[in-house]
Amino acid sequence: MKKVLIIDDDLVFKDLMKAGLDPAEYDVLLASNGQEGLAKMSESKPDVILLDIKMPGMNGLDFLKEINQKYGEGKTPILITSNISSMETVSEGVALGIRGFIVKSDESVQGIVEMMERALK
């Protein structure tokens, strides 16, 4: 079973993603900000991370910087799932080793799941 860590302060998005992931295939872990995400990551070692950018406390880009320092860049596939789609944010995410950038409002849950599955291969 693959572990998916969803780090997002949007409860509706987390619930939709959890419902869209087959519980027989995925163990879904949830965090509301980067700090919670770091704690979940160190205790559970997820196979893939869906990461929001704008969150209270530690944001997504700060989370990426922190895990790159702790674990090394690219060890765990990370997809940014955000409604912020500025080129600057995308470029910074790519420089920090993300495997994809998904604009939440432009993609279905199934589309996000398919992109996540590609990142796992």
Sorted by where each starts, the structural domains of the chain and their CATH numbers stand as: 2-120 (3.40.50.2300)
Cα gap 81→5, rounded to integer Å: 12
In angstroms, rounded to a whole number, what is the distance separating the alpha carbons of residues 69 and 46? Answer: 17
The stretch 27-50 carries a mean pLDDT of: 94
Contact (Cβ atoms closer than 8 angstroms) between residue 119 and residue 48? yes
Give the up-direction half-sphere exposure of residue 36: CA atoms within 13 A in the CB hemisphere. 15
pLDDT of residue 92: 87
pLDDT of residue 112: 93
pLDDT over 80 at 54, yes or no: yes
pLDDT at 93: 86
The residue with tokens 């893939």 is 48
Stated pTM of the model = 0.93
Cβ proximity of 95 and 60 under 8 Å: no
Note the pLDDT of residue 73: 66
Say yes or no to pLDDT of 43 above 70: yes
pLDDT at 74: 67
What percentage of the chain reaches a pLDDT higher than 90?
59
